[in-house]
Amino acid sequence: MVSSDHPEPVVPEPGEEDDNPRPRQTPQETPQESAGDEFEASLRPLKTGEIVSGLVVHLDEHGALVDVGTKSEGFIPPKELRRAGDQGAEVAVGDRIDVYVVKPDAEDGHLLLSKKRADYERIWTQVTEAYEKGETVSAMVVDRVKGGLVVDLGLRGFLPASHVATKNVHALERFVGQSLRLKILEVDRARKRVVVSHRMAAEDERKQRRETTLASLEEGQVRKGVVRRITDYGAFVDIGGVDGLLHVTEMSWTRVRHPSDVVKAGQKIEVMVLKFDRDAEKVSLGLKEILPDPWQHVEEKYAVGQMVAGRVTRLVPFGAFVQLEDGIEGVIPTAELSERRSAKPDGMLAVDDTLQAKIIAIRPAERRMTLSLRQVQQDKERQEYREYQSRQRDDGRVTLGDLFGDVLAQRPQAAPAEPAAEEDSACAPSGSPGESPAEKAESPTSSD
């Protein structure tokens, strides 16, 4: 603000003719005459409201002296050197600055100047030009007021709540202290009123980014993006002014219950462009494609017959899905749940149950693995039987000899036959065993 000791200056409108225009050099003028005319023109009196360039020749606590090309230096009071809250560089001796002529004929013989007013006029000019050309400017939000926000453009600007690029207009305080890109909607110099829009600037910049992105977008590219919103079937990701759909099936190599389990709104991620319809401007994105595929090396880690631990992720009529690790999921068919044919998945298992299963088939090309609980139980029973047999061998088996051995040992043994009798018996051609030849002769025959 200008000191109250001086009247409010009047700034001439652009295009107003100067009362003392500088004489033009004619071809007939000599160099000496031209230099003299320029010197005389430099000494012309300045008018209130003019903005001229000058050189700072002296600076102290009382103010600054500036050479503006007149007979005497101009004086800038300390309060007119910079605006309150201005974070710009300090003025130093030797700097060339623009100054506003407040009073050309001060009582002490010095021109009364103001750098602050010159900066103010320059800012009004810049704001007006930006408004006329539709340019985007940057400004700091300095306050929250009724109906919107106050921004510092070098002068006070008003940002209506309806023109803030946010869905929650009831939490505008969070923008205080932030620098925003703005479009100027209205400029009223007489009322010192400037109205700006953040939403229009954001839409305009997004449109420019969108055109640039669409021109360079190709399938197979990996792009950085920001998750804008999440639905039950996926998430929409801004990859540079263009929203692409990241479907829930493309978020992970394993099944995802809900997209919010993988990504969050506002999260920065990298995605691959899977499909791009240039005519419809539709983009399909993938996240799992840039992640390592666990099925590529599944046969190096798992084998048929191997026992594995897993967690039940979902139950279906034909069986249960079990996650072994991130990206690796196997299925237990209903027939492999139990020996009972009537076994149902929901009757035996629950989601998030942990269990031990046996791998009975692996098909990496189809990304499928078949597991079995029934064979686990069978293997357990066989092992228990082997352990039982092993304990029996170690403890000694019970036989008939163990039960009746003592009784048989107490019975008298028969006397052994005489060797001669054994020999006669062996030599007898016929008859009863052990029968002597005489007895044989005396025994009647059938003819008798």
- Residue count of the chain, please give it: 448
Q: 175 falls in which pLDDT band (50, 70, 90)?
A: very high
pTM more than 0.95: no
Confidence band of 347 (pLDDT split at 50, 70, 90)? confident
Handedness of CA 406, 407, 411, 416 (dihedral sign): negative
Give me the domain span that covers residue 197: 134-202
Residues sharing a CB contact under 8 Å with residue 160, sequence separation 6 or more, in sequence order: 147, 148, 195, 197
Tell me what the mean pLDDT of segment 183-202 comes to: 92
In the predicted structure, residue 434 carries a pLDDT above the cut 80: no
For residue 121 the two structure tokens come to 């006029």
Within a 10 A sphere around the Cβ of 139, how many other Cβ atoms? 24
Instruction: Tokens for 440, please give them.
Output: 């044989």
Confidence of residue 325 (pLDDT cuts 50, 70, 90): confident
CB atoms within 10 A of CB 203: 13
Structure confidence at residue 408 (pLDDT): 57
Taking only the tens place, the pLDDT of each residue in 123-165 is: 888 999 999 999 999 999 999 999 999 999 888 999 999 999 8
C-alpha 358 chain-centroid distance: 37
Residue at which a domain ends, from 336, 353, 378: 378
End-to-end Cα spacing for the chain: 174
Residue 326 has pLDDT above 50, yes or no: yes
**CA atoms of 230 and 87, how far apart (whole Å):** 42
Q: How many structural domains compose the chain? A: 4
Integer Cα distance of 160 and 366 in angstroms: 57
* pLDDT value at residue 195: 95
15 inside domain = no
- Residue 212 pLDDT > 50: yes
Looking at every residue in the chain, the average pLDDT score rounds to 79
Residue 177 within any structural domain of the chain: yes
| pLDDT-above-90 percentage for the chain | 35
Q: Does residue 212 lie in a domain region?
A: no
- Residue 186 and residue 237 share a domain: no
- Is a pLDDT exceeding 90 seen at residue 180? yes
| 6 pLDDT more than 90 | no
**Residue 25 predicted with pLDDT over 60:** no
Contacts by residues 416-423 (CB-CB < 8 Å, ≥ 24 positions apart): none
pLDDT for residue 87 is more than 90: no
**In the structure, how many helices (H) and strands (E) does the chain have?**
9, 20
Q: In whole angstroms, what separates CA 263 from the centre of its chain? A: 7
Radius of gyration of the CA atoms of the chain, in A:
53
Q: What is the CATH number of the domain that holds 235?
A: 2.40.50.140
Distance CA 84, CA 192 (A): 18
Residue 318 lies in a domain: yes
In the block, residue with structure tokens 């062996």? 426
* 270 & 243 share domain: yes
Helix (H, G, I), strand (E, B) or coil at 172: helix
Using CB atoms within 10 Å of the CB of residue 382, give its burial: 0 to 12 exposed, 13 to 18 middle, 19+ buried.
exposed
**Dist CA 136 CA 197 (whole Å):** 10
DSSP H/E element including 270: strand 268-277
- Answer with the one of 66, 98, 121 that is the final residue of a domain: 121
Does residue 401 lie in a domain region? no
Q: State residue 14 phi and psi, 5-degree precision.
A: -60, 135
Question: Which residue matches tokens 């000191």?
Answer: 3
Please say if the pLDDT value at position 358 is more than 80.
yes
**Last residue within a domain, chosen from 328, 352, 378:** 378
3-state secondary structure of 205: helix
Co-location of 112 and 143 in the same domain: no
Question: Do the Cβ atoms of 66 and 57 come closer than 8 Å?
Answer: yes
2: in domain: no
Q: Is 391 domain-assigned?
A: no
pLDDT tier for residue 245 given thresholds of 50, 70 and 90: very high
